[in-house]
Amino acid sequence: MENRIKISERLIIMLIDHAFMSFVGFILVIIPLYISMSQNSTIETWPILALMCFYLAMGIYFNKDIIGGKSIAKRIMGFRIVKLHDHNPASEFQLFIRNILIPLWPIEVIMSIISPSRKIGDFLAGTILIKDEKETIGQYLSEIKSFNFTGKTAFVSIITILYLYVIHLTMP
């Protein structure tokens, strides 16, 4: 299997991932707000609820590749994130680090045009995008069911929460 990644493939992966994760984020924010409003809760709780749901969505976005080094788009298109030097599976922490610049998504898109196999986050994490087998939704659901929440997963979850808190502190 040739491992050269076309710019168009990389941009399609980024677009699908961004669209899918934006949709997930929208659902995670809108549904609780709708339920909250329909139950006549006080308007003061809405911003807090929306913010909590937004951060949950961002936490999922930052860790979208955590199951097998593949996001939804990478599974559809047939790609995987691996360690740069030996092409072994990237660690959960590396998969988180490569996504910490998601708030700077337009810059990552520009970098992906320059270097389709490595965005800025890949340089930070020591990872690379390689071609892999395409997967069906059934294969993905099976992998989700067999995913084990380990100490490393807990560590990455805590780091994600801390990172989101730091981002929150920088907002006006």
The pLDDT tens digits of the residues spanning 9-61 come to 999 999 999 999 999 988 988 887 777 777 666 666 667 777 888 888 889 99
Rounded distance between C-alpha atoms, residue 64 and residue 160, angstroms: 12
- Token readout for 20 is 């899918």
Is residue 46 within 8 Å of residue 36, measured between CB atoms?
Answer: yes
- According to the model, what pLDDT value does residue 44 have? 66
Domain ranges, ordered by start, for the chain: 7-170
pTM exceeds 0.75, yes or no: yes
**Residue 80's beta-bridge partner residues?**
130
pLDDT tens for each residue of 99-153? 999 888 889 889 889 988 899 999 999 999 999 999 988 888 888 888 888 888 8
Eight-class DSSP state of 61 = H
Rounded distance between C-alpha atoms, residue 51 and residue 53, angstroms: 5
